[in-house]
Structure 1
Amino acid sequence: MKTFVLILFLILNTDLQAGSGISYWLVQPQQTPRNLSACVFTDTSFGWIAGDTGLVMNTTNGGVSWNTQSTGILNNIHDMFFLNRNIGYALAWELDATPPNYYGTKILSTTNGGINWYVTLFPDSNVFLNTVFFRDSLNGYIAGSGGKLYYSTNSGAKWINSEIDSGMVFGFPVEKIKFYDEDYGLAVGGAIDIAGLVWRSTNGGRSWRTIIIGPEPINDFLFLDKNNAIGVGGDFEYGSSNIKSFDAGSNWLYEEFQVFGIANTIAYRTKHEAWISLGIVDSFLVTSDGGIKWELIGTPQQSRIYDIEFPGERNGWAVGVGGVILKYNTDVISVNNISAAIPEKFILYQNYPNPFNPETVIRYELMKTGYTVLKIYDIKGIEVNNLVSEVQTAGIYNVKLSGANLPSGVYYYKLSSGGFSETKKLVLLK
C-alpha cells in the first residue's frame, strides 16, 4: 500500500516547504473557553460558530461582536451548514440514552438565522451523522456512521436512505457531503489504516458509487469547478494527505504531505490560495499556486484549528481548541525572504513608497535566526496590526503592507528580533 502512495506522490510532484511563521491570522478576543468545531459564513457580515455542549454563536457585523444563541441542547455540535442568512442546520450526537433507549443524532434547524433552533431526533437510532448539506430550501443531504447517506426533498421533514453500490467496501463512516449542482455530488470518508473513500452521485443523491482512493480517511473536500476537486485527510501515523480529481470525481490521485497531523478542513481564499487546518497540530498548510507547492505555517499563539472559512478573498475565519477565533489578516499582502545570504547586522529600512496609498513595502535584515515581531502602531501608540510574529531564519525580508483598512494618518512600524529593536514612521495618504 505504501508503494502505491509513493508512486502517486511522484506523479503529483507536489512540493512541501517549511515557511516562516507570518501572522496571516490575527487572534480575536475570546468569546468562550469551549472548543469550537464549526465556522460558517453566508457573507462577510453574517456568520456562526459552534462547538462543545451545544454552543452556537452568531455575528451580524463581520465578527465585531458575537451573540450566543440558545440551542436547547448540551451535546457537542459536530457539523453546521447555513444555506443563507435564515436557513441553517446543525448535527449533534446523543450518547446518554436520553430520551430513554435512544442513541443517535439530534438534528437542529432554524429558519430565522438561529433566533430559534428546533431539535428533532433522527428516526434511525445508533446512526451518528457527521455532515449536513442543503443545495436549496427543499433538497438536503446528511451522512455519517456505517456509510449511511440520506436525502430529503422536503426541508428535512423526511429522510430517505440512498442506494449505495459499495463494491468491495461498506460500512465506513462518511465525513463530508456536498453537491455541485442538482445531480452531481460527492461524499468522502473512510477508516484509519484501512481505506480512504469517495462516494459519487450523478442523480441527486438517490444512489452512490464507492471509490477507494488511498489508505487513510478523507475528512473534507472542495469543488474547484465541475471537473476539478480536492480533498484532505490522513492519520497521525503517516500524517496528512490530499486527493485530487480532474474528471468530475470519477478518478482520484492520492498524495501524502509527509507532515505530522490530520488535515481536517480545506478552504480556498482565492483561485490559487488554499488553507488546510491540522487540528491538534498548531500549524496550517497553505498553497499559493493551486496545490503544486504547500507551505507549513505555524498558527498564532500555537492555536489548534478545526475549521476554516473564507466568505471573501479579504475575509477569513478559523476556529478551534479552547474557543480560539482567528481572523485573516487582510493587511499582509505578502512576506518574502528575498535572500538567503546572512546579513552582517540587523537593519530596518524605511518603507517604500512613503507616503503611500494603498500599498507599501517594509524591508528588514536579520543577522541570525530568532523570534521576530513586526507591528504597526497609530500615532497614539495603539497597536493596529501584527504583521509578523514568529521565528524567522537569518536573511533579508520584504513585507508588503496594504493600507486599505486603515484611515489616512501617521503610523509607526516596529521591528524586534534577537535583542534588536527599531521603530520608523510611515504615512498613509488617501
Structure 2
Amino acid sequence: MKSVLYFFFLVTSLFAQQGEWQIVQTPVNANLKFIHAIDSSNIWAAGDSGYILYTSDLGKNWSIQRMNENFNINDIFFLNDSLGWAVENGNDGINVINNLLRTTDGGKVWQSNRFRPDNVIIYSICFKDSNYGIIGGEGIFSFTSNGGIDWNEINRDSALFSNFPVRKLRYVNDTIAFAVGGYYDFGGVIWHSYDSGRNWITDSAYADPFFDFLLLNDSTIITIASDIERSFPSAVFKTTNLGASWLFNEIPYYGVSRGISKRTIAEIWATYQREFIYSSDGGHNWFTKSTPDGIEVFDITFLDSIQGFAVAENGKFLKYIPSTLNVENNNLIDENGFTLLQNFPNPFNSSTNIQIVLLINNFIKLYITNSIGEKLLTLFDGNLSKGLHNFKFQGDFLASGVYFYVLEVANPNQFQLNHRAIGKMILLK
C-alpha cells in the first residue's frame, strides 16, 4: 500500500507543475489591454493612449506603430501577418467618437476612419475574411460585407437582455460566431450566430458580465462571468455543443477576468486582475497564481503549450516560461537560455516525448541515464537551432523503473557544456 501511495504522490507532483511568467517592459507606460499574436514573430499589444505596439522577437524589441493620446484601443484583430483591424474610442468634449483602424502591411501604416453615428462605444471588431466583419459594443452591433465601407445593423432576437453591450466577438468558423458582454452590476449575456453574423440568438444570461471567451475545441466554448465589486464569486460557463446548451458553476474567486486562452486542450489560463486563474482539467477545477510583482494583467494568449503572452498595466508584457525540472543553474531561464520540459506521456510505456526550447542557436547534448547516473543512450549531440525541438525516446530495451533525461547546453558562442537540466521519467511495462 505504501508503494502505491508513493507512486500516486510522485505522479501527481509531476503533473502539478505550472510555468512562471516573466515581465518585459515595453517602451511605453500606458496600460496595455489587448494582445493579438499570429505566431511568435508577429505579436501586437494595444491599449490606453491609443498605443499599438509590435514585436517580432518575443518582446525583446518593440516598435510603436500608433499612438493617439486622447483615445484608447478597445480591440485589435488580425487575419494574417498583414491584414488587421483595431478600434479606438475617445471624445472631443461633446461627442463620443469611434475610429475604425485598418492595416494591410502588418501595422506599419494604419488607416483611420471615423465611425458614424457618434455617441456609441465600439468594444470589439473581427473579420472572417477581407470583406466580411462584425463590430459590437454599447449601442452598436453591425456587420459589413465590403471590408468596412458600409456597416449594417445586426438583427438580434427579442430576449430580455439581447440589447446589452457586446464586449467581445469572434468567428469560430466560416458560419458560426459568438459574442459575450453585459453591464456591470446588471447582467451578462452570451450570443451566437449561425449565419456568419447577420442574425444573433441570445444563448444565456447571468447576473454579471462576460468580457472574453475561449474556443477550446470545435464544439466547446468557455467564458467567465465577473463581478467588478467582488461581491459575488465568478462563474464559469461552458458549452460542448456550440451554444445549444450551457452549464455553469461558481468558482471560489472574486474579481474580473478580461482575457482567457488555452495552453493545451486541458489547460486553460485567464487573467484575473492581479492574479491568473488556471484549470488543468478543461475548466472543471480552477486555481490561482499571483502575477509577478502583483501587477494587474488584462489579456492573455497562447500560441501553443510553450509560447504564452499577456499584457498588463504600465506597459508591461509577460512571457510564459514552461516548468523546468531540477535545473542545476538558476540562470538558465533567461532571454539567452533554454528550457527543458516534462516528458509526455509520463509515466509511459515504451515511448515518450522529450521537448526542449532554445532561445538561441546552441550546442547541446541530450542523453538518458538510469537511477545511479549511468549513461544509457545519447539522443542528440551537436548544434541545434533556436526554437522548440521534440525528441522521441523508445524505452523498449529497458525494464520498468525511474530514469532521467539530461540536457547539457553550452554558453553562447562556446562549445563547453557547462549548464545542465535533469528531468525524471517513469517507465511502466
TM-score, normalised via structure 2 length: 0.73
1:320 shift after superposition: 1.0
- Aligned amino acid, residue 45 of structure 1: S
Q: For the residues of structure 2 that align with 1:216 and 1:259, how far apart are their CA atoms? A: 14
1:82 shift after superposition: 0.9
Alignment of 1:57-136 (within 5 A): 57-71=53-67, 74-97=70-93, 102-136=95-129
Query: Does 2:165 correspond to 1:173?
Result: yes
Deviation readout 1:3-49 (Å, 9 max, x if unpaired):
xxxxxxxxxxxxxxxxx996611111342211101111111111111
Which ranges of structure 1 fall in alignment gaps of 5 or more residues? Answer: 1-19, 334-359, 363-373, 388-400, 413-424
- Aligned amino acid, residue 280 of structure 2: S
Q: For the residues of structure 1 that align with 2:329 and 2:124, how far apart are their CA atoms? A: 40
Q: For the residues of structure 2 that align with 1:325 and 1:241, how far apart are their CA atoms? A: 27
- Aligned Cα RMSD in Å? 2.9
Q: 1:403 touches 1:428 (CA, 8 Å); kept in 2?
A: no
Q: For the residues of structure 1 that align with 2:231 and 2:107, how far apart are their CA atoms? A: 39
Q: 2:220 touches 2:239 (CA, 8 Å); kept in 1?
A: yes
- Aligned amino acid, residue 68 of structure 1: I
3-state secondary structure, aligned to 2:286: strand
Cross-structure match for 1:276: 270
Deviation readout 1:206-263 (Å, 9 max, x if unpaired):
1111233321111111222332111123102213322111221122122222212111
- 1:227 to 1:30, Cα distance in 2 relative to 1, 3 A: closer
Q: 2:302 aligns with which of 310, 329, 351?
A: 310
- Aligned amino acid, residue 361 of structure 1: N
Q: For the residues of structure 2 that align with 1:410 and 1:46, how far apart are their CA atoms? A: 28
Q: 1:220 touches 1:231 (CA, 8 Å); kept in 2?
A: yes
3-state secondary structure, aligned to 2:99: strand
Cross-structure match for 2:357: 404
1:75 shift after superposition: 0.6
Cross-structure match for 2:383: none
TM-score, normalised via structure 1 length: 0.72
- Aligned amino acid, residue 310 of structure 1: F
3-state secondary structure, aligned to 2:358: coil
Alignment of 1:166-315 (within 5 A): 166-235=158-227, 236-279=230-273, 282-315=274-307
Relative CO higher for 1 or 2, CA cutoff 8 Å, sep ≥ 6?
1
Q: 2:271 touches 2:298 (CA, 8 Å); kept in 1?
A: yes
Q: For the residues of structure 2 that align with 1:144 and 1:375, how far apart are their CA atoms? A: 50
Query: Does 2:343 correspond to 1:324?
Result: no
Q: For the residues of structure 1 that align with 2:299 and 2:271, how far apart are their CA atoms? A: 6
3-state secondary structure, aligned to 1:199: strand
Alignment of 1:137-176 (within 5 A): 137-146=130-139, 148-176=140-168
1:405 shift after superposition: 2.0
Cross-structure match for 2:326: 361
- Aligned amino acid, residue 47 of structure 1: I
Q: 1:377 aligns with which of 321, 331, 341?
A: 331
1:192 shift after superposition: 2.9
- 1:403 to 1:377, Cα distance in 2 relative to 1, 3 A: farther
Cross-structure match for 1:46: 42
Q: For the residues of structure 1 that align with 2:195 and 2:315, how far apart are their CA atoms? A: 39
- Aligned amino acid, residue 285 of structure 2: K
Deviation readout 1:260-282 (Å, 9 max, x if unpaired):
21111110111111110012xx1
3-state secondary structure, aligned to 2:261: strand
- Aligned amino acid, residue 329 of structure 1: I
Q: For the residues of structure 2 that align with 1:34 and 1:382, how far apart are their CA atoms? A: 24
Q: 1:195 touches 1:212 (CA, 8 Å); kept in 2?
A: no
- 1:187 to 1:305, Cα distance in 2 relative to 1, 3 A: same
- Aligned amino acid, residue 44 of structure 1: S
Q: For the residues of structure 1 that align with 2:162 and 2:306, how far apart are their CA atoms? A: 42
- Aligned amino acid, residue 161 of structure 1: E
1:53 shift after superposition: 0.9
3-state secondary structure, aligned to 1:301: helix
Q: For the residues of structure 2 that align with 1:161 and 1:189, how far apart are their CA atoms? A: 18
Q: For the residues of structure 2 that align with 1:328 and 1:428, how far apart are their CA atoms? A: 19
Q: 2:339 touches 2:358 (CA, 8 Å); kept in 1?
A: no
Cross-structure match for 1:393: none
Instruction: Indicate the percent of aligned positions where both proteins have the same amino acid.
Output: 30
Q: For the residues of structure 2 that align with 1:178 and 1:159, how far apart are their CA atoms? A: 17
- 1:271 to 1:243, Cα distance in 2 relative to 1, 3 A: same
- 1:243 to 1:428, Cα distance in 2 relative to 1, 3 A: closer
Q: For the residues of structure 2 that align with 1:115 and 1:382, how far apart are their CA atoms? A: 26
Q: 1:220 touches 1:264 (CA, 8 Å); kept in 2?
A: yes
